[in-house]
Amino acid sequence: PETNDANLQDVLTPEIVSPLLKDRDVCNALFPHLPDNAPLDSQSIEEVLRSPQFIHSVNSLTYALRSGALGPLMAELGLDTSISTSDGAVVAFLRAIQKKEDDTMDES
């Protein structure tokens, strides 16, 4: 099942995310989900991305998706469960998120 899967840790790196933090709207969308008392600036978000606690959590989620949580989590997030899982659970999860964003953008 995971012969061609992706790792969430590879996707949520500072290298990939940082360039997007220049956009104030992006930062504003992320701020509410930071820990209490974390400063509300892009440096704070970058530090979080590098923190062992965040990385541990991301890896837990990868593991969970591959161990049966994919279905329940997709249902919880209102994602399209018909997305193919032939590449692996993480790829399916990410493509389902992409699909939801595309559908939302089409509607507006």
List interacting residues with other proteins (CB under 8 A): 4-8, 10-12, 16-17, 20, 26, 29-30, 32-38, 48, 51, 53-54, 57-58, 60-61, 63-65, 67, 69, 73, 76-77, 87, 91, 94-95, 97-98, 100-102, 105
- Torsion angle of the four alpha carbons 35, 36, 40, 45, in this order, in degrees rounded to the nearest 10: -10
Q: Which is nearer to other proteins, 38 or 40 (CB)?
A: 38
Q: Which is nearer to other proteins, 4 or 82 (CB)?
A: 4
The alpha-helical segments, DSSP class H, found in 22-83 are: 24-30, 42-50, 52-64, 70-77
Q: Specify whether the CB–CB gap between 26 and 20 falls below 8 A.
A: yes
